[in-house]
Amino acid sequence: MESAAVDPSDAIPVDTSSDGVAEKDPDANMAEDEGNVEEEPKELRNLDGGDTGENSAPREAVTFNAVYNKKKYEITFDLDETIASLKKHLESIINVTSDMQKIMVKGLADNKKTLREVGITPTTKVLIVGSQVSDVLSVTQPAKGASAPEEKVCAAKESFFENKIHKKVISAGVPPDAMMGIKNSKDALPDTPLTGMLNKNLGKVRLTFKLELDQIWFGTKERTEKVNMSSIKTIVSEPIPGNEEYHVVGFQLGPTEASRYWVYWVPAQYVESIKRTVLGNWQYY
In a domain, residue 86? The reply is yes
Of 110, 130, 150, which residue sits at a domain end?
130
Q: What does the buried/exposed string (b/e) look like for 219-242 if buried means 16 or more CB atoms within 10 Å of the residue's CB?
A: beeeeeeebebbbbbbbebeebee
| CB 139, CB 231: distance < 8 Å | yes
Q: Are residues 166 and 264 in the same domain?
A: yes
Reported as a single tens digit per residue, the pLDDT across 17-60 is 444 444 555 555 544 544 454 443 333 233 333 444 555 567 89
Q: Are residues 255 and 196 in the same domain?
A: yes
Q: What is the CATH number of the domain that holds 248?
A: 2.30.29.30
Reported as a single tens digit per residue, the pLDDT across 240-265 is 999 999 999 999 998 888 899 999 99
Distance CA 28, CA 112 (A): 56
Q: Are residues 170 and 121 in the same domain?
A: no
Note the Cα 234 to chain centre separation in Å: 20
Q: Are residues 100 and 165 in the same domain?
A: no
Domain count, the chain: 2
Distance CA 6, CA 267 (A): 107
pLDDT recorded at residue 40: 38
Q: Are residues 117 and 70 in the same domain?
A: yes
In a domain, residue 18? The reply is no
In a domain, residue 97? The reply is yes
Q: Name residues whose C-beta falls within 8 Å of residue 33's C-beta, 6 or more positions apart in sequence.
A: none
Reported as a single tens digit per residue, the pLDDT across 177-202 is 999 999 999 898 888 999 999 999 99
In a domain, residue 259? The reply is yes
Reported as a single tens digit per residue, the pLDDT across 136-182 is 555 445 445 444 444 444 433 357 888 888 999 999 999 999 999 99
Q: Are residues 116 and 164 in the same domain?
A: no
228 pLDDT above the threshold of 60? yes
Domain interval for residue 260:
160-279
| CB 167, CB 161: distance < 8 Å | yes
In a domain, residue 8? The reply is no
| CB 229, CB 278: distance < 8 Å | yes
